[in-house]
Structure 1
Amino acid sequence: MRKSRIAVTAAAVVAGLSLSACGGDGNATNAGNASSSSSSAPAEGQTGSAPDSAEQPEGEASGSGAPEKEAPEQGSAGQESAGTGIKPERCHTDDLTITASDATIGGDTTRTVAVKLLNKSDRACSIKGFAGVNLLSSEGAIPAARRDQKDDGTVLKSGEPTYFGIFYKANESGGSGVRIKGLVVTPPDEKKSVTLTWPGEPSLPVTDSPDPSVEIGPMGSVGQGG
């Protein structure tokens, strides 16, 4: 009888141990599943938020790239604008109406003749420097000397004039002097000349002075009327 109780008790202990082992395995499995679930959830959360963090730099890059695209367009526009500015061709003799008038201011010992060059063409043209000037006289041609003046040049629009001055001493000796018959003007850098009526004093003094008797200024050296 005692042996039977011991056997039953031993069997109960063994059964209990078996149930504990089975329960432990189940808990371990459940814990493993729970751990796997908990570890996979953050991974999914991180995977879901990754595009947001990746998209943000892309948005910033495209945002900063926009001005970079605009800047070349503005630069090219400026270059195109500058490139369209074509330098006008120089004024040719046939582009100009050339006239001369007395422009002496009363009381001046040095007489002045103003030569007007009017752009009669339908385009703008540039003119710079000194014209060629010769006075036709009874003693032959008298070339005009250039004054020490600078000329930055100018662009004449269609219908716009410029002027330069011829400066000389009048004959006050009482004699016939050197009589002036005409005026020959050649625009800067041109070979074709025009001959005009001389509008100034009829004669220049006869002189042995080395100083030039006639001088001219560059384009724009006098205004309208002197």
Structure 2
Amino acid sequence: MRTKRMAVTAVAVVAGLSLSACGGDDGTTNTDNVSKSSSTPAGEQTESAPADQQENDSTGTGSQEEAPEQGTSGQDSAAGAKPERCHTDDLTLTASDATIGDDPTKVVAVKLLNKSDRECSIKGFAGVNLLTSEGAIPATRRDQKDDGTTLKSGEPTYFGIFYKANESGGSGVKIKGLVVTPPDEKKSVTLKWPGEASLPVTDSPEPTVEIGPMGSVGQGAG
């Protein structure tokens, strides 16, 4: 009988332990709940906004890794880029008569010398106005193209002003001066007029004064 009582007691103890493991209020159940509670946020982090944020952070890291390549490319591009354009204050402008012989089309060559300590680029047409007894006469651009020029420090370029001289015997339109604005600039320079004293008075629709782009004449100005 004593042996049977011990066996019954052992069975009761085992049954009690089984009930505790299945959902009692002791420490074992709380530990299991804490374990479940701590594992749930970890699963949410993988699927929710924090996970997306991590993915974005990863993408950002990739961008940072690519940044040196972009920087290198930018430096290479800068190294091969054209210099900044020539500003009016970078240039010394002079004008001289460049007419060849008795050519009916008279020419004044305007020289633009890079006086700065850097290279600069210049392209296109200058703004040109002849100051006359009849007011300012703007020059008309010739149908010529210009691929642009890079001027080293101390290097010049030239453009031409083309006009018809007054051969009527009358006073014509007296020329008092010349105003030149380098391409893409707003600051102008006023020069003495080195050519013929006057332009003919005419009702012709043809332009009285024309200009070429940078490099349209050679070193006729000296």
**TM-score over 0.5 for the pair:** yes
Task: Give, in whole Å, the separation in 2 of the partners of 1:210 and 1:108.
Answer: 22
Alignment of 1:28-177 (within 5 A): 84-177=79-172
Choose from 199, 207, 215 the match for 2:210: 215
CA shift, 1:82, in A, is: 5.8
Q: Structure 1, residues 63-111: CA drift from partner, whole Å, max 9, x if none?
A: xxxxxxxxxxxxxx99976652232000000000000000000020000
Q: Quote how far apart the aligned CAs of 1:176 are.
A: 0.1
TM-score between the two structures when normalised by the length of structure 1 = 0.64
Per-residue CA shift, 1:193-218, capped at 9, x if unaligned?
00000000000000000110000000
Distance 1:196 1:126 in 2: 22
2:53 maps to none
How many residues align structurally? 150
Tell me how far apart the structure 2 counterparts of residues 181 and 202 of structure 1 sit (CA, whole Å). Answer: 8
Opposite residue 123 of structure 1, the aligned amino acid is: R
Matches of 2:89 and 2:78 in 1, distance apart? 28
Say if 1:123 and 1:174 are closer, same or farther in 2 by CA, change over 3 A: same
State the Cα RMSD in Å: 1.6
Aligned to 1:187: 182
Q: Distance in 2 between matches of 1:125 and 1:176?
A: 42
- Stretches (4+) displaced over 3 A: 77-83
Distance in structure 2 (CA, Å) of the matches to 1:81 and 1:143: 42
Cα displacement string for residues 126-179 of structure 1 (whole angstroms, at most 9, x for unaligned residues):
000000000000000000000000000010000000000000000000000000
TM-score calculated relative to the size of structure 2: 0.65
2:157 and 2:84 mapped to 1: Cα distance? 16
Which has the greater radius of gyration?
Answer: 1
Q: Which amino acid is the alignment partner of residue 110 of structure 1?
A: T
Separation (CA, whole Å) in 1 of partners of 2:99 and 2:152: 28
